[in-house]
Amino acid sequence: MSASVTAAELPSVRRRIQAVLIASQILGGLGIAIGVALAAVLATDVSGTEALSGLASTAAVAGPALLAMPLAALMAARGRRSGLVLAYLVGALGAGVVVLGAVIDNFPLLLVGLVGFGAGSSANLAARFAAADLAEPDRRGRAIATVVWATTIGAVLGPNVAAPAGESVSGLGIPATAGPFVWAAGVFLAAAAMVALLLRPDPLLTARALAGPEESEEADGRSLKAGMRAVRASSRARLALVTVAVSHTAMVSIMSMTPVALSHHGAGIQLIGLVISGHIAGMYAFSPVMGWLSDRLGRLSVIGLAVGLLSAAALLAGTAGASHPQTAAGLFLLGLGWSAGLVSGSALLTDSVPQAARAAVQGLSDFTMNTAAGIGGLTAGLIVAKAGYGWLNAVGACLLLPMAALAVRGAVRRG
C-alpha cells in the first residue's frame, strides 16, 4: 500500500496521517497524564516513605527505556503502526498491574506496573518521529511540534480528572489514588485501536517507498548497529541526543518531586493538579512555536533557548519555598524548556542521519533519554529526602552545562 502512494497523492496522505497521529496523541496524553499526576503520591502511600516516592517516576520512565530499542527494531522492520499499537497495549496492561499492586498494597508489583504503564509514553514519543517521516525538510520542526502539541489537550485535562477518576472507584475496593490508572488503561486501549485501524498507509514505509528501491531494500542500514554508527559519525546527531536526554532528565527529575514538595507546604490534590496542568501546558501547548522557531532560526538557536528556559525554571522552583505561584511559574518554564529541547533536538537528530538509519537512531534517542531520566527520577527522591527540593533544582541546573557547552561548540563550528 505504501508503494502505491504517488507524489500527487502525498499532500492528502500527509494530512490524513497527521490527523490520526493528532487524535491518538490526545488519547495517549490523557492516559499518561491521568496516572502521572498522582504516581509519586501513590508510591508514597503504598511504600510508606517519601524516600521511595522517586521510584515511581523511575519505573515510569524505565518502561519506555526498556521498550525503546525493541520498539525501534519493530518499527524499522514493520513500520510505525505496529510499534505504536504495541506500546499502547503494554501501557494498558501496566496500568492494570498498577491498580492490582495498589489494591493488595504490594510496592514491588506497583513498580512493575508503572514500568509497563510508562511504556504508553513510548507511543507518544515515537509519534513525533512518525510525523517527521513524510514532512518536507524545511517544515520538519513544525511537523514534529504539531503532533507534540496535540498531546496538550489530553495532558492538561488528565491531572484535573484525577480526582473524579479516584472517586469513580470508591465503591470497588480500589484506593482513590489508583483510580486514575483504571481510566488510563481504557484510554490506552482506545488509542491502540485507533492507530491499528486508521494509521494507513504507514508513514515510515511510505517514506522509504518514495525514497526509492535502494532505501526500501537496504535492511542492514536500518539495523540498530547501523543507527549507532550513524550517531558516532555525526557531531550534530550527538548534540541532538544530549539535548533530548538532558532536557528530559531535568524535566522529569524536578517535575516528579514537585507534588511532594507542594504537599509539604500545604497544597492539596486539587492545587497540585493545577500546577502540574500548567507545567504540561508549557510542555505541549507552545510546541508549534518551538517548531516554527526551529525551522526559521535553526535548531541550535532553539537548543540555546531550551538551556535558558530550563535554567530559569530551576531557579524559580528551587527558591519558591511556600510560594505556590512561584512554584507554578517555575514548573511552567520547565515545561517550555523541555518543549524547546525536545522539538529542536528531535528535528536536528532527524536532519543529521541518513533516512535508512532514522528509525534505529530515533529509538536510540528515546532509549537514552528515558534511561537518563530514570536515573534522574531515582536520584531526585533521594536528594529531596536528604537535602530538600531546592538542592534538587540546583542539581538539575548543573545537568544543563554539557548541553550548553556542546551547543556553543556546534555554533562556533558552524560559524
Model pLDDT for residues 49-108, shown as the tens digit of each residue: 777 776 787 788 788 888 888 998 899 889 999 999 999 999 999 999 999 999 999 999
Assign 110 a pLDDT band (cuts: 50, 70, 90): very high
Summary mean pLDDT of the chain: 87
Q: Which one of 173-182, 202-211, 305-314 scores highest in mean pLDDT? A: 305-314
The answer to whether the CB of 215 falls within 8 A of the CB of 76 is no
Q: What is the pLDDT of residue 215?
A: 52
pLDDT at 415: 57
Mean pLDDT, rounded, for 370-375: 83
Predicted pLDDT of residue 217: 47
Q: Where is mean pLDDT largest: 35-39, 58-62, 279-283, 349-353? A: 349-353
The winner for highest mean pLDDT among 115-119, 200-204, 207-211, 327-331 is 327-331
322 phi, psi to nearest 5 deg: -85, 5
- Report the pLDDT value the prediction gives residue 33, as an integer from 0 to 100: 81
- DSSP helix/strand/coil, 415: coil
pLDDT at 1 over 50: no
| Nearest-angstrom CA–CA distance, 211 and 229 | 21
- Name which residue leads in pLDDT, 37 or 354: 354
Q: Does the structure show a pLDDT above 90 at 170?
A: no
Q: What is the mean pLDDT of residues 335-358?
A: 92
The pLDDT of residue 212:
65
In 3D space, the residue among 267, 271, 289 whose CA is nearest the CA of residue 336 turns out to be 289
| Residue 415 burial (C-beta neighbours within 10 Å; 0-12, 13-18, 19+) | exposed
pLDDT > 70 in the chain, percent: 95
- For residue 251, the model assigns a pLDDT of 95
Tell me what the mean pLDDT of segment 127-149 comes to: 90
> CA-CA distance, 378 to 16, in Å (whole number)?
40
231, three cell numbers: 550517531
Query: What pLDDT, in 10s, does the model give residues 268-290?
Result: 877 887 898 788 889 888 999 99
Q: Residue 207 above 50 pLDDT?
A: yes
- The reported pLDDT for the residue numbered 335 is 95
What distance in Å separates the CA atoms of residue 143 and residue 154, rounded to the nearest whole number? Answer: 19
> When comparing pLDDT for 226 and 216, which is higher?
226
- Residue whose C-alpha is closest to residue 56's, from 329, 248, 259: 259
How many other C-beta atoms lie within 10 A of the C-beta of residue 263?
A: 17
pTM of structure: 0.81
Q: What is the distance between the alpha carbons of residues 40 and 45, in angstroms, rounded to a whole number?
A: 9
pLDDT value at 134 more than 50: yes
pLDDT tens for each residue of 6-18: 777 888 899 999 9
